[in-house]
Amino acid sequence: MADGARMGAKSKRILVTGGSGLVGRAIEQVVKEGAGQAEEEWIFLSSKDADLTDAAETKAVFDRYQPTHVIHLAAMVGGLFRNMKYNLDFWRKNVHINDNVLHSAHEHGVTKVISCLSTCIFPDKTTYPVDETMIHNGPPHSSNFGYSYAKRMIDIQNRAYSEQHGRMFTAVIPTNVFGMHDNFNIEDGHVLPGLIHKTYLAQRNGTSLAVWGSGNPRRQFIFSLDLARLFIWVLREYKEIEPIILSVGEEDEVSIKEAAESIVAAMGFKGELVFDTSKSDGQYKKTASNSKLRKYLPDFKFTPFSQAVKETCDWFVANSDQARK
């Protein structure tokens, strides 16, 4: 993926790890559509360019591209059910990837690194809304403790690189992300791509749509293109080591049932919705405050949820052969 990158004399060379995933592809699209600046050269990596769990491969890719800035997205990622099965793998792979990327960035004198946490890493037992000061206050939800603790350690490492070496390594905390190029695998993926794929199949086969769990848990969903625009703002403007939550407002939180109904409306599905309560609900909610973001960007406009769901469903139907599933 990175082979097309030009090694020119631009003053900012931005290396995006995980550049072939949901968020990476969204950043690439936003840059291509004009958000990139003349002095910026963008390099989007996939696991084919380097296995970042391997220290030598990570160092080699940094040697090759000599980035001045890093957006670090690469991770083992999955929905609730993949997390429940593979807590050990989520912990080990992500700890290795994060340590390799942050240490290579340090050794190569990278000016700024932005890593990606997630609102699922907040304490399970907490008051709501959660905010940036509460990340380490108590154990995360048991369903994804491997992923959550690995992500929390990025924040620890960022603080330590700052204190010991004066590095500007920071992190963002998005809520549930969705959009084009997501992982639409039903067993492994997140709820929206999973339900979009299941609705597509139910429509084609004339069957009902199985929504897992009770449909009552609540989530704040952020469209990948909105997140991409916010990432670019963080890259250029955000100067704190402390992370920042990137989220729609608390009032935009929806239930899983409402999210499923949005997909049904977007795809014109006429069949029945069946709630399979033999499946886990996972964390009931993780309502996050976007007050810090709103202090910086009071006028940022998020894409309305129903519009973003429609765009994602249309993309999946048009690209169902090539989509990750």
Q: What's the rounded Cα separation, in Å, for the pair 290 and 131? A: 8
CA atoms within 13 A on the CB side of 13: 20
SS3 content of the chain, % helix, strand, coil (to 5): 45, 15, 40
Nearer Cβ to ligand NAP (51/242): 51
| Shortest CB 53 distance to ligand NAP, Å | 5
Residue 74 touches which of ligand NAP, ligand GDP, none (CB < 5 to 8 A by kind)?
Answer: ligand NAP
In whole angstroms, the minimum distance from the beta carbon of 140 to ligand NAP comes to 13
Q: What distance in Å separates the CA atoms of residue 273 and residue 210, rounded to the nearest whole number?
A: 6
Catalytic-role residue among 65, 86, 128, 147: 147
195 near ligand GDP (CB under 6 A): yes
Cβ neighbours for 79, distance < 8 A, ≥ 6 positions apart: 188, 189, 190, 191, 194
Q: Does 117 bind ligand GDP (CB under 6 A)?
A: no
Residue with token string 């996972």: 282
Residue 147 a catalytic site member: yes
Q: Considering the complex, what minimum distance in angstroms separates the CB of residue 205 from ligand NAP?
A: 27
Choose the one of ligand GDP, ligand NAP, none that binds residue 131, judging by a C-beta under 5 to 8 angstroms depending on kind: none
Whichever of 164 and 205 has its CB closer to ligand GDP, that residue is 205
Among 200, 212, 269, 316, binds ligand GDP (CB under 6 A): 212
Contact set with ligand NAP (CB under 6 A): 18-24, 46-48, 51-53, 73-77, 97, 116, 118, 174, 176-177, 183, 190
